[in-house]
Structure 1
């Protein structure tokens, strides 16, 4: 069994059909079927259960699929690492971001563009759970996300925490015209639309818990994972929302008004994360260095070893 056969097997497993896999691999179907048959004969094991054209992995096939993925990923990363021993910072930087964190990424990306104009970028947007999955699947190298996140698989650089702000339609007269700050208790009864992750815990739970600490349950009329959608709803008068300050600064809406909290004991926390067991390209390590140099991150000794790269 060789590397090419492992690639064939992985593609068939992911596509679930030889026909689709052959099309993706730009080859004819009969030779691909023959390669799968040769693998099964070599192992003397059945790797797929066949239901018409649909293929499903057997338990043995599942084991081989997991191991093949590890081998092929290691090979791809090894090729990149070897090439980077004599090449400069080129290629494509694959990175993700929550919409509510994107303003913290724009400065470092602009600096990267100025320093390495030959570098290209692939950006992925989503919530923290989605971007963590993208990193696990090696679709991106790192992401700027809202915390919390499970630390078992990831290294991270925490970014500076920031306050939450209340945003309301500009024409609301809930507060006096000259009001710049409010208290958490002022939220009682106000229809709120809050950011909520598709999966896992996040700032929704943080805000609800803060309200309960002040003696009331918030009047949540809408939950949504997209901050721009929430701000648009606020601008159109549906209700108020609570977002990190930088989110408000990143997306301009003319028909809303913002208020600081005097007595909220919560902050929005974010971090740039990457997988512990994955090789980081020179471009990724240089981006992390920019976060450090720009002092947008807190002290974190686990990343020191990443920055012993040359100046290419």
Structure 2
């Protein structure tokens, strides 16, 4: 069995049909079927079960699909590492970011693009949990995420902390003191829509605890992992939200107004993360250095 056969096998498994897989591989169907047959003969077991028109992986096939994928990824990363010993900064970077951290990414990419004009980018958006999974699955190399994180599988470059702000419809009569500051008592009964990641502890729990520390039980009417969706709802007058201050710099919405939270102890923390013990392309290493130079002054 060789790497080419392994790629063929994974394509058939993804498409669940030899015909579709052959089309994606730009080859005829009979040679592809023959390669799968040769693999099964070499292993002396079945990799697929036919269910109508679909081919479903056997238990052995599932193991080969998962571990074979890792082998192919490691081989491709090895080729990248070898090429980078002699080639310049070219190719495509795979990066992720939460929307509430997007202002950090846009600032760093502006600088990086000027320094390395031949680079291309593929961006992935999601909450912290989703982006952690993308890194583990090797879909992206690094991500800018919101803390906290529960996993210890990642290297972390912490970015500057920032305050959370209340964002409400401009038409609301929000009682604020001098300096456009709102006391937590004013949030009582206010319909709040908060960021809530798909899985694990995050900003949602931090805001709830902060409210309770100030003696109020927040009136949560909506939970969502997407900051722009929440801000859009605020602009429509549905409710108010609490987001990191820099989120408002990255996305422009009309009909909203932001307020500082009086005596708030909680801060929004963000970080650049990448997986431990995994080779990073030169481009990713340089981008991390750009973040460090731009935001980490200590």
TM tier, smaller: over 0.9
1:265, distance to aligned residue in structure 2 (A): 2.0
Q: Aligned in 2, Cα 1:136/1:17: closer, same or farther, shift over 3 Å?
A: farther
* CA distance in structure 2 between the aligned counterparts of 1:26 and 1:298, rounded to whole angstroms: 51
**1:160 equivalent in alignment to 2:160:** yes
Q: Distance in 1 between matches of 2:212 and 2:178?
A: 28
Deviation at 1:27, TM superposition (A): 1.4
CA contact 1:158–1:298 (8 Å) conserved in 2 = no
Q: Give structure 2 stretches of 5+ with no counterpart.
A: none
1:105 corresponds to: 105
The normalised TM-score by structure 2 is 0.94
SS of match in other structure, 1:232: helix
Cα displacement (A) at 1:188: 0.8
Q: Return structure 1 stretches of 4+ with deviation > 6 angstroms.
A: none
Distance 1:139 1:176, change over 3 A: closer
SS state at 1:145 partner = strand
Answer whether contact 2:175 2:186 (CA < 8 A) is retained.
no
Whether 1:199 aligns to 2:207 is no
Output the CA distance in 1 between the equivalents of 2:297 and 2:112.
20
- Residue aligning to 1:49: 49
2:65 aligns to what? Answer: 65
Matched ranges for 1:120-131 at <5 A? 120-131=120-131
User: In the alignment, what sits opposite 1:275?
Assistant: 275
Report the 3-state secondary structure (helix = DSSP H, G, I; strand = E; otherwise coil) of the residue aligned with 1:204: helix
Q: Partners of 1:200 and 1:207 in 2: how far apart? A: 15
- Tell whether the 8 Å contact from 1:196 to 1:204 is kept in structure 2 after alignment: yes
Aligned to 2:187: 187
Closer/same/farther in 2, CA of residues 243 and 46 from structure 1, 3 Å limit: same
Cα deviations across residues 89-114 of structure 1 (Å, max 9, x unaligned)? 11111111111101011221111111
Question: What is the RMSD of the two structures over their aligned residues, measured on CA atoms?
Answer: 1.8
Counterpart mapping for 1:107-256 below 5 A: 107-176=107-176, 180-256=180-256
In structure 2, the partner of 1:27 is 27
1:189 CA drift (Å):
0.8
Name stretches of at least 5 consecutive residues in structure 1 with no aligned partner.
300-312
Deviations along 1:259-301, whole A, 9 cap, x unmatched?
A: 112222211111111122432111100001111122x2487xx
Query: Relative to structure 1, is the Cα distance of residues 277 and 31 closer, same or farther in structure 2, using a 3 angstrom cutoff?
Result: farther
Distance 1:277 1:37, change over 3 A: farther
* Secondary structure in structure 2 of the residue aligned to 1:121: strand
Looking at structure 1, the residues matched to 55 and 200 of structure 2 have their Cα atoms a distance apart, in angstroms, of 32
**Is the deviation greater in 143-152 or in 184-193?**
143-152
Secondary structure at 2:82 match in 1: helix
**CA distance in 1 between partners of 2:263 and 2:254 (Å):** 27
> Following TM superposition, by how much is the alpha carbon of 1:149 offset from its aligned partner in structure 2, in angstroms?
2.5
**Separation of aligned partners in 2, 1:143 and 1:264:** 28
Answer whether contact 2:165 2:242 (CA < 8 A) is retained.
yes
Correspondence 1:89 to 2:82? no
Question: Would you say the 8 A contact 1:157–1:298 is kept in 2?
Answer: no
Using a 3 Å threshold, how does the CA distance of structure 1 residues 237 and 67 change in structure 2: closer, same or farther?
A: closer
CA-CA distance at 1:136 after TM superposition: 2.4
Deviation at 1:133, TM superposition (A): 2.3
Offset at 1:124?
Answer: 1.6
Deviation at 1:179, TM superposition (A): 5.3
